[in-house]
Amino acid sequence: MALPIITPASTPYEHLSKDAPLGKKLAASLSTRIGRAAVIVVCLLWTVPTFGLLVSSFRPENDIKTTGWWTFFTHPSVTLQNYRDVLSSSGGNADNFGKYFLNTVRITLPATFIPIVIAALAAYALAWMSFKGRDWVFVGVVALMVVPIQMAMVPLLRLLNLGGHLTISGHTFTIFPNFDINSSVVSVWIAHTCFALPLAIFLLKNFIQALPKDLIEAARIDGASHLTVFLKVVLPLAVPALASLAIFQFLWVWNDFLVGKVFGPSDLKPMTWKLNDLVGSKGQDWQRLTAGAFISMVVPLGVFFSLQRYFVRGLTAGAVKG
């Protein structure tokens, strides 16, 4: 019996003509061993600043201010004083960093969960429910994506502080009542939700719309309501997209400075606001900044690595159609 002839797998270049665009050739080269090695080297180089920050956070103040972090390997000296100063009220640090860390947690978790829930419901409605003006609503959502946050801050802040009123022919109509939430964390949640919804709805709508139509129609024929289809069919299939969106939203809110400072009450400033204050009035205490910055990075890194498999699936979902 003749043995089958096994030919080596074709390389990405074999499918490209000599006249192929340069960008396409470069993209194909990333699938080769040399391309993958280059990507690994670049990733390692990007981790060097983070590693240097970690090393510096454990170095004494005098060493940080006089020598580079790489000298640690020739003259090792380790201390936890930087972390003690950051996590306590010593060294002229009026409020400990832990308070602002908890403030950020209190802001981030609801500000991540609320817009994702609303966006998922809106995306399902725009994808699988027929109603008048649906396409115009989606066009409006896309249009809101290009509105700068800085331009929308003042109107939104005024709306939360004073409410929304419209005066016609001497008669005043209340469009948005004043709930007196400008001095609570709720105003920060609302601001983050408003700024996150356009992109979240756009991404989830495209993902949910790409789900098998036969699956949705079969559930509807069996008598399932839209809510049942959303909860039992769409949500389990949309987990990768929801997880990817959760990572983006969590990282954005966690690292946010402007929205938390503008909309947050004075006793609920985020951790990023405190990081700006750690270096001192003249930038003389930046040894604390190394410890504070690394503390602020621990949670985002943990969230990313714990949801990494969903993140990759969410980015590649729908890219290949059978």
pLDDT at residue number 276: 75
Task: Say if 181 falls within a structural domain.
Answer: yes
Task: Say if 37 falls within a structural domain.
Answer: no
Residue 12: pLDDT over 50: no
Kindly state the percentage of the chain with pLDDT values over 90: 8
Q: Which among 50-54, 83-87, 119-123 has the top mean pLDDT?
A: 119-123
Task: Say if 7 falls within a structural domain.
Answer: no
Using 50, 70 and 90 to split pLDDT, how confident is the model at 89? low
User: Across residues 250-261, what is the average pLDDT?
Assistant: 88
pLDDT at residue number 207: 87
Return the bridge partners of 8, or none.
none
Residue 218: pLDDT over 80: yes
Give the Cα separation of 10 and 27 in Å (integer): 16
pLDDT at residue number 280: 62
Using 50, 70 and 90 to split pLDDT, how confident is the model at 240? confident
pTM comes to 0.74
What is the tally of structural domains in the chain? Answer: 1
Using 50, 70 and 90 to split pLDDT, how confident is the model at 117? very high
Task: Say if 85 falls within a structural domain.
Answer: no
For the segment 28-37, what is each residue's pLDDT rounded down to a tens digit?
A: 666 777 877 8
Residue 92: pLDDT over 50: no
Please state, rounded to an integer, the average pLDDT across all residues of the chain: 79
pLDDT at residue number 294: 83
Using 50, 70 and 90 to split pLDDT, how confident is the model at 9? very low
pLDDT at residue number 120: 92
Whichever domain contains 149, its CATH number is: 1.10.3720.10
Residue 113: pLDDT over 90: yes
pLDDT at residue number 22: 60
Residue type, 107: I
Indicate if the alpha-carbon torsion angle 159, 161, 167, 172 is positive or negative: positive
pLDDT at residue number 110: 93
Using 50, 70 and 90 to split pLDDT, how confident is the model at 6? very low
Q: Which helix (H) or strand (E) holds 164?
A: strand 164-168
Residue type, 79: T
User: Across residues 108-130, what is the average pLDDT?
Assistant: 91
For the segment 202-216, what is each residue's pLDDT rounded down to a tens digit?
A: 988 888 888 888 888
Q: Which among 173-182, 195-204, 217-226 has the top mean pLDDT?
A: 195-204
**Tokens at 238, concatenated:** 């949309």
Task: Say if 119 falls within a structural domain.
Answer: yes
Structural domain containing residue 215: 99-316
Using 50, 70 and 90 to split pLDDT, how confident is the model at 174? confident
pLDDT at residue number 52: 86
8 Å CB contact between 233 and 219? yes
Looking at the chain, list the stretches that DSSP marks H as alpha helix, in order from N- to C-terminal side.
Answer: 22-29, 33-57, 61-66, 81-87, 97-128, 134-144, 149-162, 185-209, 213-221, 226-229, 235-237, 239-254, 258-263, 271-278, 286-306, 308-316
